[in-house]
Chain A
Amino acid sequence: MFIDFLASISFYVIPYLTGRLFTVRFFYAYMLGALFWFFSYFIASYFAQIFYPLHFSAIIKALAISISVFSFINILMTTPKPTKLVLREHMAVFFILALSSLVYFLIWKNLTPYPLQLNWDIYEHIALANKISEGYISFLPSQISDTFTFNGYSPIFHVLLSLPKIIFTTNLLGVYWWLEYWHYMLTVLAAFFLAQRLFDNKQIASICAILSALIFESTVVYGSLFLLPQTLSALMAIFAIIIALDRKKNSLLLYAMTLTILFLTHYIVGILAAFVVGLFLVLYYKPLSFQAEKAVIAITTLFLIGAISLHVFGGWSLTNREEAGYFGFSLLHKMELFLDWYGALLAIFLPLGAIRILSDETHQKTVLIAGIFLLAVSLAPFSYVLKFFVLGRYFINAILALGIWFLISYLPKIGQILALTFLAIVFLIVFYANQAFYKEPLYFKGVQSHVSKAEIEASNWLSKNAKEDTFLVSDPSTQYVLEALSGVNTQGGSYMTQKTRDTLFKNNYLYDTRVIAQNLKSIQDLFLYERKKRKNTLFVLTGRYFAWQKLPREQKMSFYYNIWKPHKLEKRDLVYVNLLLKNSAFKVLYRNDEIIIVQI
C-alpha cells in the first residue's frame, strides 16, 4: 500500500520535476514535463527497437530517476529559502482539505478499501498503460491495444500513468486507488482558487470548494471522484484559468503548450476547454465594455434556450457507435440527474448567483458566460454531450457559491454560520444518498467494488505464472478486468468484436470440449504481432462468465451491457465445469470460488 502511495505521487511529481528544469512556474512545469515524457516515450521506443537488448522500461526508468534526482538537486541549490507558511492565512484551505478527506474515506471509500475500485473505466486505461510500459507506443490508442476501438484522446494520460508502473514495478490498481484521492483533492483546490480569483472572497471560495467536494455527478460526468482523461483535461483547464486570472505576467508560449496538452489529453473536452481558457485569456487582456458583456451574456443565454428547445425535435447521435444511443439523454432525464446531484439548490442559487454577477460591476462576467455556454452544450439533445459538464461544473458551482453567499450575506454573523452549517448538512445528505445509490448495485462479499479480492488474486497468479505468449478468453467483463490487472492479452477486453461475442455465444453450455477448444482458438487478437506471439490459450470460467451467458443474445452482442460486479460460481455452473473437465484435455491451472482458469 505504501509503495502504491509513493507511486501515485510520482504521477504528478516526475512530470513536475522534469518540467522544473525549464520553468519555475509550478503548473507549467507539470505541463512541460507531461509533454516531455509523451514525446520521450516515442524516442525511447525507437531506441529500444534499434538497440535490441536495451529494454524500453529500463531506458525510461533510468531517465526518470536521473532527471528527478538532477531536478531535485537543482531545486535545492537554486530555490531561495521559503518564507514561513502562515498557517492562519491558509486555515480555510486546510480545513476544507481535511473535511474533504473525511468525506472521501469515510463515505465514498467506506466499503471500498484499498485497492478496490468504483470506476469501471480505469481498466482500459490500466491495460493501455501496461502495454505502453512494455514499449508499445503510438499516437492512436487503437494501434496499441484492441481494447480501444475509438481514438478519443492521445495516449498522453497513459504515458503518465505508466511512469509509476515502470519506476516502482507495481500493479496500477493500487496506484489508481491513491491517484483518485489526489485528483479529488485537486478538484477541491481548483474550485477554491477559481472562486477566489473570480470573486476575491475567501468565504465564497470556501463554499465553492465544499460544493465541489459534495457534488457527485454520478452519470457520464464523474467530475471529482473519477480520474479519467476527460476529468484530468477539465482540471488542467481550470488551473490554466486560475493562472490566467493571476496578475503575474503570462507567457503565450506556455499557454499554447497548455492548450496542446488539454487537446492531447481528451480531444473533445480538450477543444472545449481550450476554447474556454482562450475566452478567459481574451476577456482578461482585452476586457469588453459593460454593454458588450451584457450582449454576450444575452447571446449565450439564447444559446442555452436554443439548446433546450432543440429537444422538441428529438435527439441526435453524434457517432455510429452502438453505445452512443445509450448516452443520448432526454431533457427530462438530464434535469432529473441534476436533481439527483444538486437537490433543489441549483434552481434557486444559480439564478441568484447569476443576478449577482450581472448587477455587480466588479464581478467577473466571464464565469457566467462560460457557465451558461457549457450548461447549454451539456443540455443539448446530442449523445455524449453531458460529458462536457465535467468542465461546466466548476463554473456552475462557482456561480452557485456566489448565489449562496449573496443570500446568507443578509444574515448576521452567527446566522451565516448556522445557515452554512445547515446547507452543508443538506449537501452532505444529498451527496450521501447519491453516492450510495450509485454504489449499492456493486455490493459483493461485504464490499462495494467492480472487482473482487478473488479476481485480484487470480490476476496476481496470472501475472506471475502466465507467460508472454498466453492469450485469455472469457466474457467481456472478465477479460476487461483480468487483462488490466494481470497483463495477459485478450481480444479487446470488454470491447471484443461481434465475431468474438458470437463465438462465445455459440459456446454457451456446450459440452463437446473439442468444439469448445476449436471455438476458443478461433478467437484472434486484432494485432498481428499479438497473434504471432500467441502459443497458449486460457479459458477463464467465472461467475461473471456464466451470468453473461444468461443474458439475452442482443445484450451479449452489445458493448453497453456488462456484468459490472463480481459473481460467485453457482452450483449449476460448477456442475457444468466438472462435466467439461471430466475426460477432456482441459487442465485446471487455478481456481477459487469465483474463477476457474483452464488451459486449452
Chain B
Amino acid sequence: MTPFLKAGKTAGAVFIIIIIGLLSIVITLARLPLENLFDKNFKAQITPFSINFYKDDSDEVVFKVSPFDDYYYQSSFKHHIEDKSIYLQNQGLLDKLINLLSRMVNNKKLIWSMEGSKARITYTVFSKNGSLELVRQVHTLGIKVDAIGQSIVFCQTCMVTDEEKRVYFKASLLTQDKVDTAERLKLTPFIIENKMPYRLSKLNIVDLDGNIKATILITSYQEIFFEEQWQLLELKTFVNKTKPITVSQIIIL
C-alpha cells in the first residue's frame, strides 16, 4: 500500500468515526431529550412554550415561566419578551447536550433557550438545597432595555399571600367567596390595583386549604406587580444597560 493510500484510509477512518459519533449524539439528543429536572421537593419540565414547575410528585402545575409572560421595559413602556408563538424557536442541541451532561455529573441544572423576534432568552433552573434558582439571560435584538419583568403564572385556584398574612386581591375581581376564603384561612384581604407594597421580603403561593405551594423571595430593588386575572406575578428588576442582562429569582417549593 502506498503511503498516500494509507494516509487516505487513515483520514477516511477518522472522518467516518467522528461523523458517526457526532451523528449518534445528535440523534440521541433529538430523540431522547431530557427535559426534566428532578429534585426531592419539585420537578421542572420543559414544554414547547414554558417551563412548568410541580411540587413533590403532584401532577398539578404550581407555576410556570415563559417568554410570553415575561416583560422588558423601555422607560415606562412594557412589552412581552415575545408575543407571537410563530416566531419562537426552541432550544438548540447545545442546550440539550448541556442538560444531558449536567445530569450525567449529577449537576442539578436545566437549561431552556428560546429565540423570538425581539430577543433571545435562556432560562436556567438550578436546584439548591430544596429550593430553586431561576436565572434569565436576555439578549435583546437591537432593543435598549431598562428593566426586565420576571413573571410567574401560578396555579388557577391559588392565591398570593405575604409574611404579614395578607392575601392580595384585585379590586375589580373581589367576590364574597374570596373574602370568605380569606377569613377561613385567617388571612387579611389586601386590595390593590396591580402594584404590591414595598419592603416585602417574600410572597407565598397558597392553595384554597392554606397550604403553601411555593415561596418567592424578593430582593429590595424589585417592584412587584400582580395581575390576578391572569394569575400572574411580575418582579420588575432594573438592569444595567451596559452589561448583558441576567436576572434571577429564588423560589422555594
* Chain A residues in the interface with B (C-beta under 8 A): 107, 336, 339-340, 342-345, 348-349, 407-408, 410-412, 415, 419, 422-423, 425-426, 429-430, 432-434, 436-437, 440, 443-446, 567-568, 571
Task: Please state if B28 and A429 are interface contacts (CB–CB under 8 Å).
Answer: yes
Asked if B17 contacts A408 (CB within 8 A), the reply is yes
- Distance in Å from the Cβ of B28 to the closest Cβ of chain A? 5
Q: How far is the CA of A528 from the CA of B49 in the complex (A)?
A: 57
Contact A430 B24 (CB under 8 A): yes
Decide if A343 touches B28 in the complex (CB within 8 Å).
Answer: yes
**B40 in contact with A433 (CB, 8 Å):** no
Q: List 12 A-B contacts (CB under 8 A).
A: A107-B104, A342-B24, A343-B23, A407-B17, A410-B9, A426-B24, A429-B28, A429-B100, A433-B34, A436-B32, A443-B38, A444-B57
Task: Indicate if the CB atoms of B21 and A426 lie closer than 8 Å.
Answer: yes
9 nearest CB pairs, A to B: A343-B24, A344-B23, A426-B21, A410-B13, A433-B32, A437-B32, A446-B40, A344-B24, A410-B9
Q: Please give, as numbers and ranges, the residues of chain A lying within 8 Å of B10 by CB-CB distance.
A: 410-412, 415
Select from chain A the residue with minimum beta-carbon distance to B45. Answer: A440
CB atoms of A423 and B17 under 8 A apart:
yes
Q: Which of B18, B27, B36 has the most CB of A within 10 A?
A: B27
User: In the complex, which of the residues B20, B29, B34 contacts A344, with contact meaning CB atoms closer than 8 Å?
Assistant: B20
User: Which one, B6, B32, B103, contacts A434 given CB within 8 A?
Assistant: B32
Given A336-B31, A436-B34, A568-B57: A343 touches B12 (CB 8 Å cut-off):
no
Name the CB-closest residue of B to A420.
Answer: B17
Asked whether, in the complex, the Cβ of A568 is within 8 Å of the Cβ of B28, the reply is no
Find chain A residues with CB under 8 A from B104 CB.
107, 429, 432
Enumerate chain A residues within 8 angstroms of B56, measured Cβ to Cβ: 445, 568
What 0/1 pattern do residues 186 to 214 of B give for CB contact below 8 A with A?
00000000000000000000000100000
Contacts of A344 in B (CB 8 A): 20, 23-24, 27
Asked if residues A422 and B21 are in contact (CB atoms below 8 Å), the reply is yes
Number of residues in B with C-beta < 8 Å to the partner?
30
CB of A348, distance to nearest CB on chain B (Å): 5
Could you tell me if A339 and B34 are in contact, using CB atoms closer than 8 angstroms?
Answer: no
Q: How far is the CA of A443 from the CA of B29 in the complex (A)?
A: 21
Q: Is the CB of B16 within 8 A of A407?
A: yes
Judge whether A434 and B28 touch: CB under 8 Å: yes
Which of A336, A348, A426 contacts B25, CB < 8 Å? Answer: A426
- Choose one: A339, A437, A440; the contact of B27 (CB below 8 Å): A339
The docked-state distance in angstroms from the alpha carbon of A87 to that of B190 is 77
Is B109 an interface position by the 8 A CB rule? no
- State whether the Cβ of B14 lies closer than 8 Å to any Cβ in chain A: yes
Across the interface, A343 reaches (CB within 8 A) one of B27, B103, B209, namely B27
Structural contact, B12 and A433, CB atoms closer than 8 A: no
**Contact in complex: B36, A440 (CB < 8 Å):** yes
Residues of B within 8 A of A568 (CB): 56-57
Q: Among A336, A425, A429, A567, which residue has the most Cβ atoms of chain B within 10 A?
A: A429
Complex: A525 Cα to B73 Cα, angstroms: 69
Q: Is B236 an interface residue (CB 8 A)?
A: no
Residues of chain B within 8 A of A349, CB atoms compared: 20
Instruction: Using CB atoms, name the residue of chain A closest to B57.
Output: A444
A336 contacts across to B, CB distance below 8 A: 31
Chain B positions within 8 Å of A408 at CB level: 13, 17
Contact B57 A433, beta carbon cutoff 8 Å: no
Q: Does B136 contact A (CB under 8 A)?
A: no
Measured CA separation A426–B16 after assembly (Å): 14
Give min CB distance, B78 to chain A, whole Å: 38
- Whether A436 contacts B103 in the complex (CB less than 8 A), given A340-B31, A422-B17, comes out as yes
Alpha-carbon separation in the docked complex, A336 to B27 (Å): 10
- Does B64 have its Cβ within 8 Å of any Cβ on chain A? no
Question: In the bound complex, do residue B27 and residue A419 qualify as a contact, i.e. CB atoms below 8 Å apart?
Answer: no
A570 — nearest CB in chain B belongs to which residue? B58
Chain A at the B interface: mostly helix, strand, loop or mixed?
helix
Q: How far is the CA of A425 from the CA of B13 in the complex (A)?
A: 17
For the complex, what is the distance from the CA of A430 to the CA of B31, rounded to whole Å?
A: 10
A425 and B40 alpha carbons, distance in the complex (Å): 29
Q: Between A and B, how many residue pairs show CB distances below 8 Å? A: 89
Measured between beta carbons, the chain B residues less than 8 angstroms from A340 are 28, 31-32
A411 close to B32 (CB less than 8 A): no
Measured CA separation A164–B221 after assembly (Å) = 65
Please determine whether B12 and A410 come into contact, CB atoms closer than 8 angstroms.
Answer: yes
Contact A339 B21 (CB under 8 A): no
What 16 new A-B contacts, CB under 8 Å, besides A340-B31, A430-B24?
A339-B31, A343-B24, A344-B23, A345-B24, A408-B13, A410-B6, A410-B12, A419-B13, A422-B18, A430-B28, A433-B32, A437-B34, A440-B38, A443-B36, A445-B57, A568-B56
User: Of residues B13, B28, B31, which shows the largest number of chain A Cβ atoms within 10 Å of its Cβ?
Assistant: B28
- Closest approach, in angstroms, between the C-beta of B182 and any C-beta of chain A? 20
Contacts A343-B28, A433-B34, A434-B32 given; indicate if A407 touches B13 (C-beta within 8 A): yes
Residues of A within 8 A of B21 (CB): 422-423, 425-426
Given A336-B31, A339-B27, A343-B23, A433 and B17 touching (CB < 8 A)? no
In Å, the complex CA distance between A340 and B25 comes to 10
Please tell me if the beta carbons of A348 and B16 are within 8 angstroms of each other in the complex. yes
Closest A residue to B25 using CB positions: A429
**A183, chain B: closest CB distance, angstroms:** 24
Contacts of B36 in A (CB 8 A): 440, 443
Please name all residues of chain B whose beta carbon is closer than 8 Å to the beta carbon of A432 when the two chains form the complex: 100, 103-104
Contact indicator A411/B20 (Cβ below 8 Å): no
A348-B16, A408-B17, A445-B40 given as contacts; is B24 within 8 A of A433 (CB)? no
Pick from B20, B24, B43: contact of A443, CB below 8 A.
B43
Within 8 Å by CB of B57, from A107, A419, A567, lies A567
Q: A345-B24, A568-B57 are in contact. Are A419 and B103 (CB under 8 A)?
A: no
- Please name the residue on chain A nearest to B13 by beta carbon: A410
Q: How far is the CA of A423 from the CA of B16 in the complex (A)?
A: 11
Q: How far is the CB of B52 from the nearest CB of chain A, in Å? A: 15
Q: Return chain B residues, CB-CB under 8 Å to A446.
A: 40
Interfacial chain B residues near A443, Cβ < 8 Å: 36, 38, 43, 57
Give the shortest distance, in Å, between A265 (CB) and chain B (any CB).
32
Residue of B nearest to A218 (CB): B32
B14 to chain A, nearest CB (A): 7
Question: Is A415's CB under 8 angstroms from B14's CB?
Answer: yes
Kindly identify which residue among A348, A410, A440, A567 contacts B20, using a CB–CB cutoff of 8 Å. Answer: A348
Q: Which residues of B contact A425 (CB under 8 A)?
A: 21
A440 to B99, CA, bound (A): 14
Tell me which residues across on chain B come within 8 A of A423, comparing CB atoms.
Answer: 17, 21
A415 to B29, CA, bound (A): 27
A423 to B19, CA, bound (A): 11
**Chain A residues in 8 Å Cβ range of B9:** 410
Cα separation A422 to B24 with both chains bound (whole Å): 12
Q: A258 to chain B: closest CB distance in Å?
A: 37
Give Cα A19–Cα B24 distance, bound, in whole angstroms. 46
Cβ distance A567 to chain B, nearest Cβ, rounded Å? 7
Residue numbers in A under 8 Å from B28 (CB-CB) = 340, 343, 429-430, 433-434
Q: Complex Cα distance A566/B12, Å? A: 51
Report whether A343 and B14 are in contact in the complex, using a CB–CB cutoff of 8 Å.
Answer: no
For B20, the chain A residues whose CB sits under 8 A away are 344-345, 348-349
- Residue numbers in B under 8 Å from A422 (CB-CB): 17-18, 21
**Is A419 within 8 A of B34, CB to CB?**
no
A419 contacts B17, C-beta separation under 8 Å: yes
Cα(A348)–Cα(B16), bound, Å: 9
Known: A436-B34, A437-B32, A446-B40. A430 touches B25 (CB 8 A): yes
Contacting residues, chain A, for B25 (C-beta < 8 A): 343, 426, 429-430
* Docked CA distance A410–B16 (Å): 12
Residues of B within 8 A of A415 (CB): 10, 14
Instruction: Please indicate the chain A residues that have their CB under 8 angstroms from the CB of B209 in the complex.
Output: 571
